[in-house]
Amino acid sequence: MDITIRQISPDEYATLGEITAQAYLGDGLLDFGESDEYLCELRDVAKRAAAAEVLVAVADGRVLGGVTFVPAGGPMADIARAGEAEIRMLAVAPEARGRGAGEALVRACLERARAVEGCARVVLSTQRTMHAAHRIYERLGFARTPERDWKPLPDLFDLTLITYELTL
């Protein structure tokens, strides 16, 4: 499959939003399922695209998945510090998994990070159960950083996001 990675166009926002939402729902990553408040964030690609760079993997004219690349902090950064870029909301449609789209999206983020002046590392947060994503990160040279693990909503429930970083 010939996969192209490029910046998302506005007419693809709804498609990627639904791919991302369905990936999180289908993988059981939302504690409250269809009523989880984070589902709105996952579907709001326009908001992400206004604050960061949203990339899509496309093949045969179809969006297979996407990722949000946060080059140097800003409103979309969760854990990035000075000199770091962040990867967020990597998702690939179930029917496209295992074909290299996820890895291609992460590689594109790494290329972009290398082009950002002063960027020394790429960081990301992930859930413990996202094993396929972990394999991609580790294959590309990311290392676990348990000292940076964090709880996005410590008062509501006990979800700890684990973190990885790659030094460029």
> Tens digits of per-residue pLDDT, 66-87?
999 999 878 899 999 999 999 9
Nearest-Å Rg of the Cα atoms of the chain is: 15
In whole angstroms, how far apart are CA 152 and each of 32, 103, 125, 126? Answer: 15, 25, 10, 11
CATH (domain of 22):
3.40.630.30
Quickly tell me which residue has 């295992």 as its tokens: 98
- Give pLDDT, residue 1: 67
- Give pLDDT, residue 32: 74
Q: How many distinct structural domains can be found in the chain?
A: 1
- Give pLDDT, residue 44: 98
- Give pLDDT, residue 140: 98
In terms of residue numbers, what domain contains 115? Answer: 4-167
Query: Is residue 28 packed enough to be buried (19+ CB in 10 Å), middle (13-18) or exposed (0-12)?
Result: exposed
Q: Which two tokens stand for residue 76?
A: 């979309």
Q: What angle do CA 130, 83, 70 make, to 5 degrees?
A: 50
- Give pLDDT, residue 157: 66
The one-letter amino acid at 5: I
Quickly tell me which residue has 């996202």 as its tokens: 130
d(CA 31, CA 12): 27
This prediction has a pTM of 0.94
- Give pLDDT, residue 55: 98
Flag residues of the chain having pLDDT under 70.
1, 154-157
Count H helices and E strands in the chain, helices first: 5, 7
Phi, psi torsion values for 36, nearest 5 degrees: -70, 130
